[in-house]
Amino acid sequence: AYVVAEPCIRCKYTDCVEVCPVDCFYEGPNFLVIHPDECIDCGACEPACPTKAIFPEESLPAKWNEYVQLNADLCKVWPNITEKKDPLPEAEQWKDVEAKREYLEK
């Protein structure tokens, strides 16, 4: 499955939601996750994300390994999101900031 990693935090552009054919994104306060059992590995979301937050699990940078489990766990508690919405208000400011893990709200 594809995995949403750290660059999404505090941005949440949701362009990924718009292109996903199976609606397998789930939405938290400042981050989205992919349901690993629903993702069909089509790859459409990866180039759609302005922050390059999405990776196939097998090519996820090792520093973000933790996000595999975060996607699997949070997709079970967060609501499904099926339509694109406005990014978070400070998305542009946070887009290129590294080490945003501490800001992840659940």
User: What part of residues 34-73 is at the interface with ligand SF4 (CB under 6 A)?
Assistant: 34, 39-45
Q: The sheet that has 25-27: what strands, in order across it?
A: 32-34, 25-27, 80-81
Q: Which is nearer to ligand SF4, 17 or 91 (CB)?
A: 17
Which amino acid belongs to residue 12? K
Residue 43 CB, nearest approach to ligand SF4 (Å): 5
DSSP 33: E
51 binds ligand F3S (CB under 6 A): yes
Q: Pick from 2, 6, 10, 14 the residue near ligand F3S by CB under 6 A.
A: 14
Q: How far is CA 2 from the centre of its chain?
A: 9
Per partner kind, with CB cut-offs from 5 to 8 A, the member of ligand F3S, ligand SF4, none near residue 12 is ligand F3S
Give SS3 for 3.
strand
Element (H, E) at 68: helix 66-74
12 binds ligand F3S (CB under 6 A): yes
